[in-house]
């Protein structure tokens, strides 16, 4: 296989989040302006995933986001944008869908059909703190040792 990287690679495409000491009075991840509604992650794995793994992959990613949220903000930290629960949400029209979606997909021009991207879409909006939590996910562990 051969791959062609987009122009400006990697400088334009790499996002780095520095590790910092945890402040004691860190604000809840839902506080602050909404900066994104949609994120796309690349699934770079040792093994390739068939479409039948859509649900387990999305659940693993969501579980890992939950683990990072608890680790950084405490056990009871709310984040409606990441999990659609445990947070006070302003009233919205009934027709509005607020649930976050975690959807593994194949690349647009991938004829083989293997899952290579994970899309996170949140109509409610993500704060910078919530995005940083998602960016810290660098590994999904499977029971059989696959990651």
Domain boundaries, the chain: 44-108+122-135
The torsion defined by the Cα of 30, 35, 39 and 42, in degrees rounded to 10, comes to -100
pLDDT digits (tens, 9 = 90+) for 63-112: 888 888 888 877 777 777 777 654 445 555 554 556 788 888 887 777 77
Q: What is the pLDDT of residue 9?
A: 67
Q: CB-based burial of residue 75 (10 Å sphere; 0-12 exposed, 13-18 middle, 19+ buried)?
A: exposed
Q: What is the pTM of this model?
A: 0.67
Strands 115-127 and 101-106: antiparallel
């Amino acid at each position: 296989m051969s791959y062609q990287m987009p122009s400006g690679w990697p400088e334009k495409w790499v996002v780095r989040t520095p590790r910092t000491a945890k402040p004691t009075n860190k604000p809840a991840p839902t506080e602050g302006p909404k900066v994104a509604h949609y994120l796309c992650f690349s699934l770079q794995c040792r093994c390739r995933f068939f479409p039948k793994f859509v649900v387990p992959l999305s659940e693993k990613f969501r579980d890992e986001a939950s683990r990072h949220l608890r680790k950084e903000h405490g056990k009871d930290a709310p984040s409606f944008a990441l999990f659609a629960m445990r947070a006070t949400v302003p009233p919205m029209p009934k027709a509005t869908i607020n649930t976050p979606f975690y959807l593994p997909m194949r690349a647009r021009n991938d004829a083989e059909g293997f899952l290579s991207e994970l899309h996170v879409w949140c109509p409610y909006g993500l704060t910078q703190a919530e995005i940083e939590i998602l960016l810290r996910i660098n590994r999904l562990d499977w029971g059989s040792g696959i990651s």
